[in-house]
Amino acid sequence: MTETIDTGGAAPLIIPELVALDASPGSDKSDVITYLAGVVAGAGRADGPEGLAADALARESTAPTGIPGGIAIPHCRSEHVLAASLGFARLAEPVDFGAADGRAADLIFMIAAPAGADDMHLKLLAKLARGLMRTDFTDALRSAGSAEEVVRMVTEQVQPELLEGGAGAEEASAPAPASGSGAERVIVGATSCPTGIAHTFMAAEALEQAGKDRGITVRIEGQGSGRIDALDPELIKRADAVVFAHDLPIKGRERFAGKPVIDVGVKAAVNDAGSLIDRALAAIDDPAAQRVPADAAGGQDAAEEDEGSVHWARRLQRAVMTGVSYMIPFVAAGGLLIALGFLLGGYGVALTPDGASESIAASVVKDYSLTNPPTAIAGEGIHSGMLLYLGSVLFMLGQAAMGFLVPALSGYIAFGLAGRPGIAPGFAMGVVATAVGSGFIGGLVGGILAGYVAAWLAGLAVPRWLRGLMPVVVIPLGTTLVVGGLMYLVLGRPLAALMTSLQDGLTSMSGGSSAILLGVILGLMMCFDLGGPVNKAAYLFATAGLSAQTTASFEIMAAVMAAGMVPPLAVSVATFLRPRLFTKAEVENGRSAWLLGLSFISEGAIPFAAADPLRIIPATMAGGAVTGALSMALHVGSRAPHGGLFVAFAITNVVGFLLAILAGVVVTSALVVVLKGLGHRKAAAAAVAA
């Protein structure tokens, strides 16, 4: 009889329902991840498999999660996770997860952490990562005869307090005190990875185990998500050498100043910790060894040092994408509020009557009375009564949010380049860009200049008494003065002229073959990377133009939104038409992808594109191009920047909008079926030949 686990009031990370033994979910890692997402959702630990699978696959696309020894740990933080969970699958047929030793993985743990996971959960997840570096633990998992046995072993590793008389995993896995001939040697260090959950602590455990094997003291600080258990300053002072294994900047690097250092990526420690410890031991007696910088600039913040090693073009791209990411919520909220305002109050609320100093909406909000409506709205053919008042309020709220479009873009570009000191001058340059009429182009240029100037000022060596004033006074003041003066005196007019030329060009392309070509280009961009930088560039182009409130800008927005709806709708249709061409998990995803498509969430097609990019992406691009071209040719317009079919009230020529989407879906789904069918036949022929 299996002994039950007494939770003692704490939620267990793993339960029998989260364990699958000798499973065969598919031959690709995306199949395994999607399968485990279904296991987690089936156990009631996530609100659905699709969202969790998409988040885990997106994380997997940044770097493989396979580690030596036939193990993989796909992991992510996701808003779809209801409780921190460990989904486990022991595969009947190993699947390649990109481990450095080339070995396919048969032990798969999916770490599913809620978006707001607290420190306790992160510590428990860290214990699992450490345990997987021990062969006795992994061997036991491979020989386990039941789900309950797996649950007990994993719980003993990560939550021993839930077991009666369970020994603490931390104590079991912690390196023993050093003894013997090498006991005088002490090595310390820190590890970090982009998500701060798995590789951070696996690398720390691997380094400490390597030290234990060599009879020396090795203590590593895992700088994961949540609170960091910092190394004892006295231990750092005694240390002979330092090992940094990280993909993110090491926090508090100045603590290790002057000591010999081995500085590598986090996976180097996971894959071969022993060689790093050997290199650290050799560096102790090498006077030419690299050392942690002892000067204030070097020890101030490793982020600056790490940023310096990134190519300037890559760093600039990151900063621009940061600005776009922070800008989109302003656009989405503002655009949808304006669209709702039009729905309730009528499109006339945006008009400014002859001789008036403000829009009808502003006048209504300021002076409205049910018994005495403002005379300014007479004869405008708009709604009346309470609908007019509510519509005007929503329009004004949306207009206020849209007013932050350029400042938010500029401010967060500067933040991406200079950190917090860049935010204030960046926002100021966005306001300046709006004032001089240079729009989002001026915001881009102003944000970039503010970011570089603020970063330069932050890097200056200044007297100690001035350092405290730099981020709050000197940098914002100096940057705003220099870049603001440059924008007003030199760049303002040329950028405004460029913006005017661009708007005039878009207006001239609102009809004929030029508009169709523009629609094709926008459709291709929206479907190229399904939410990536190219997709976001097209979306930014469209949403930034909405502030002009012209027919051309509305048509561009409609083309972008329609094309972005095609991929998830088309793959959903393809899974309904030919389910045999897809895995079980993909068929399940297809059943919900149509809703994501109708909502203009292009990311609904990511699981399909990640599993088979050479077939899915060209097919979606073809459909997107057709949809974009038809949308422009039919003069479809959208006053809303998001919402898909659910903002049909804000779309002109709804029939044309639907026809354009339908044409793109037909093209994409047909191509997906044909291309997948060809691949299916080739695979069958190869199997027969084998």
Residue positions annotated with a catalytic role: 75, 193
Residue 448, classed as helix, strand or coil, is helix
User: What counts of helices (H) and strands (E) characterise the chain?
Assistant: 27, 12
How do beta strands 105-114 and 75-78 pair? parallel
Name residues whose C-beta falls within 8 Å of residue 355's C-beta, 6 or more positions apart in sequence: none
Distance CA 108, CA 74 (A): 8
Q: Identify the bridge partners of residue 87 per DSSP, sorted by sequence position.
A: 110
Contact 91, 32 (CB under 8 A): yes
CA distances from 28 to 62, 91, 461, 669, 675 (A): 17, 12, 53, 22, 18
Determine which helix (DSSP H) or strand (DSSP E) holds 487, and give its type and residue range.
none
Q: Which two tokens stand for residue 522?
A: 């926008």
- Is the distance from CB of 107 to CB of 71 less than 8 angstroms? yes
Query: With contact defined as beta carbons under 8 Å apart, do 405 and 330 qualify?
Result: yes
CB 638 within 8 A of CB 558: yes
Q: How far is CA 247 from the centre of its chain?
A: 16
At 500, the amino acid letter reads T
Number of neighbouring beta carbons within 10 Å of residue 424 = 21
Q: Using CA atoms, how far apart are residues 13 and 111, in angstroms rounded to an integer? A: 9
How far apart CA 203 and CA 192 sit, in angstroms, is: 8
Please name every residue paired with 78 in a beta bridge, in sequence order, or none if there are none: 114
Q: CB neighbours (10 Å) of residue 347?
A: 18
User: Taken in order 119, 125, 130, 136, is the CA torsion positive or negative?
Assistant: positive
What does the H/E/C string look like for 390-414? Answer: HHHHHHHHHHHHHCCHHHHHHHHHH
Strand partners, 188: 219, 242
Helix, strand or coil for residue 262?
A: strand
Would you put residue 8 in left (φ > 0), alpha (ψ -120 to 50) or beta?
left
In 119-264, beta strands by DSSP E: 186-192, 217-222, 241-246, 261-264
What distance in Å separates the CA atoms of residue 230 and residue 220, rounded to the nearest whole number? 9
